[in-house]
Amino acid sequence: MQQGRKRRVTTCVPCHTRKQKCNRQYPCHHCTRRRRPEECVYKPAPLDRLLRARVGDETRNQTSDHAQSIKHLADVSKIDQSPMIPYGGGPRHQHAALAKSFGYFEDSSSNTMALLKNWDLHDEDGADNGAPPDMAQKIMYDLERMPRRDILDFLIQYFVSELNWMKQLVHAPSFLIHYQQWWANHRELTVGNVEFAVLILRICSYATQFLPSPTYPNDNISELPIGQVHNTCVEIGNSLSETCLALDWKGGLVRVQHILFAALNSSCEGRTDMFWEGIASASRAAQKAGVHTAAAEPGSGQEFDREMQRRTFCNLYLLDSHLSRQLDRVPFLPDDLVADMLPRLLLVPETSMADMDSDTTAPELFTERLMQVQLGRFWRKHPKKKTIPYDPTEAEQRYEQFCTEYLPTLHPALSLSPNKKWDTRIPKLSMQRQLLHITLFDSIAWNFRPLLLLNESQITQLPPYKQVLLQSQKQRLAQAAIEELAAVSNLHSMFGGGNTRFAAIIFNSFEASVLLLTLISQPDFPFDQTGESHDILGRQVTILTRNKAMQAVEKALNRLQLLSGVSDMAAAGARVVSQLFTKASRLSGSAAPAMIPSLSNTSELFPGSFSDLLELGTVVRHDGDWGAERSLDPNFVTGLF
């Protein structure tokens, strides 16, 4: 008897399990009503279907405060009848036109705007009355050009399950509820509606940066090339963003979020300069929207909205702190402003493990972000002095304070000797741990890196005990770079070991490699001769040898070469690291690594961009001169940086 063909499942997994009729949207109406939109996942379709995705358990976070604050949004029966409530938005103040003209901060309690609030003055521009007729046609034109809903559903689902753990700029369950509601009301031309459309488009364009991937190896989404979907989302998102700015000068939390996603897109494209500009734009938008202001009064019904503002501001603060430290820039946000903006609501992960609810020591998804915020606060509290040459004693004091003040505050699940009992319950926790470790070791390298800029006369003028300390710090700097590369390698493996545009993998591979090669090229570098073990941040590490350092750099170089096919940043970095590796190999007598064939044409694809940035001049050559022989000054590599 011929076996019958299996009936095609056309419902999401929760509806199929409960034998409920599913409307096949994302999230579906039943999952939305159950307040579990993040659980709405569709089983992989047959091979002739392209839309395949999976949702991880890490987004199943919720608290009673959260449920209470968005309860009215979860009732699907009311979605079609109720007006759109802007995600993260709130009532607009009067006198918006006055604030725009005079530049007043509308939420101030002490400026002239605060005085005017005591007067019964009418301002017709103070409310969101929708788009004026002359802009309505443009908005509708842009909305009609958005990718189809099945494409956007797939990208949103992929973002929630695979990418949101990195920055957590949105709270997935509440975002998905608003996403469902937006589709029910997206033709209402309010500023809040259009602003949320920009957020959707920029999240989707960000998601395309990580496709294809091991979980979705196709180059198309529903028969459309990924690149075309990305460009469409970027173009329409930018157009609608300009319209929103023209309609509403102040903006709100959603504007800050979608500006940050646009900045993250630039980071994935290897444009760290534009990423920095995006952080500046988001900082300005946050101040105009009043994201940094005091918390709402208890019982006001806005606790969850304020919590999302605090978490978004924390993300903005840590990005500002981290990038300004890496690029040696001045931060946009004040040092202590984040102290009053730390999260106050505990969003406990709801997983299949029931004992997580009663485990007060369990981390939540945002714990890693908090550790990053505290890291930024520590280094702002203990900055390097730029007006004097490098002082080994001061650098050592900063390092010791880091070990005694910051390291003990790390959550056990994220420490350098982690407790991994929660890894199976929070699937992305292990990746968050590696991301935090990369930042930790990178900050230690930042602390000691200026010692490489000391010239010989400055070193000889140091007291003997500082010269001894300097040699010890060189070794510690090398160990930090090796540990940083190890964490990068672990994270890259967790991504599948293939192509990725994730900037943390590319940027830190390059930075740590340059540090190691610079140290290796110094004839007096104190490689271990005693066979004794050493520690870095209190963790015992293996003996540091020249061969171990060269192997770590070679692995990082291979990674940069692999990623050069999808990232301009990786290609530019690989060219420079390859040049430095060749010179360091000559000094140590090691063999240069075999070049990946795809890298042979990178000098034609990216002619001199990174070498010009570093002002290497004729040292880094192009085309046929790449890697050509030339005489080598022993201090050459040190002099470059």
Per-residue model confidence as pLDDT tens digits over 547-602:
899 999 999 999 999 999 999 999 999 999 999 999 988 876 544 454 444 433 43
Q: Scan for tokens 């500002």, then name that residue.
A: 320
Phi and psi for 308 in degrees, rounded to 5? -65, -35
DSSP for 191-203, written as a single string: HHHHHHHHHHHHH
pLDDT range class, residue 372, cuts 50, 70, 90: very high
Cβ atoms of residues 303 and 296 within 8 Å: yes
pLDDT at 522: 87
- CA 489, 490, 491, 496 dihedral sign is positive
Q: Is residue 241 predicted with pLDDT exceeding 90?
A: yes
pLDDT at 387: 67
Cβ atoms of residues 105 and 99 within 8 Å: yes
Task: Map residue 540 onto helix, strand or coil.
Answer: strand
pLDDT at 362: 86
Q: Spell out the residues 6+ positions from residue 222 whose beta carbon is closer than 8 angstroms to its own.
A: 50, 51, 148, 150, 151, 154
The distance of Cα 119 from the centroid of its chain, to the nearest Å, equals 44
Distances from the Cα of 233 to the Cα of 143, 161, 230, 285, angstroms: 11, 20, 5, 21
Q: Where are the alpha helices (DSSP H) in 24-123?
A: 29-33, 64-69, 71-74, 76-79, 96-102, 112-116
Q: Is residue 307 predicted with pLDDT exceeding 80?
A: yes
pLDDT at 279: 97
More confident position, 93 or 22: 22
Q: Pick the closest to residue 157 from 231, 92, 211 (CA basis).
A: 211
Residue type, 96: A
Cβ atoms of residues 512 and 481 within 8 Å: yes
pLDDT range class, residue 97, cuts 50, 70, 90: low
Q: Is residue 216 predicted with pLDDT exceeding 80?
A: yes
Q: Pick the closest to residue 559 from 532, 517, 596, 606 (CA basis).
A: 596
CA distance 236 to 607: 31
Q: Pull the structure tokens for residue 60.
A: 């199943």
Distances from the Cα of 592 to the Cα of 434, 479, 578, 586, 595, angstroms: 29, 22, 9, 8, 9
Q: Pick the closest to residue 183 from 25, 41, 34 (CA basis).
A: 25
CA distance 122 to 106: 15
Domain residue spans in the chain? Answer: 49-87+130-340, 348-640
pLDDT at 143: 95
Phi and psi for 4 in degrees, rounded to 5? -70, 150
Q: Spell out the residues 6+ positions from residue 586 whose beta carbon is closer than 8 angstroms to its own.
A: 632
Per-residue model confidence as pLDDT tens digits over 526-543:
776 555 667 889 888 878
Q: Spell out the residues 6+ positions from residue 335 whose beta carbon is closer than 8 angstroms to its own.
A: 377, 380, 381
Q: Spell out the residues 6+ positions from residue 577 whose beta carbon is closer than 8 angstroms to its own.
A: 510, 513, 514, 517, 553, 556, 557, 560
Per-residue model confidence as pLDDT tens digits over 430-473:
999 999 999 999 999 999 999 999 999 999 999 999 999 999 99
How large is the average pLDDT for residues 494-516?
95
pLDDT at 189: 85
Cβ atoms of residues 574 and 609 within 8 Å: no
Cβ atoms of residues 609 and 581 within 8 Å: no
Peptide bond into 334 cis (omega under 30): no
pLDDT at 373: 96
The distance of Cα 327 from the centroid of its chain, to the nearest Å, equals 16
Q: Pick the closest to residue 66 from 252, 305, 242, 423 (CA basis).
A: 305
| pTM score | 0.77
Phi and psi for 107 in degrees, rounded to 5? -95, 10
CA distance 409 to 392: 26
More confident position, 624 or 521: 521
pLDDT at 38: 61
How large is the average pLDDT for residues 339-355?
63
Cβ atoms of residues 414 and 363 within 8 Å: yes
CA distance 453 to 638: 7
The DSSP element (H or E) to which 563 belongs, if any, is: helix 546-563
The region that residue 103 occupies, defined by phi over 0 for left and psi between -120 and 50 for alpha, beta otherwise, is left
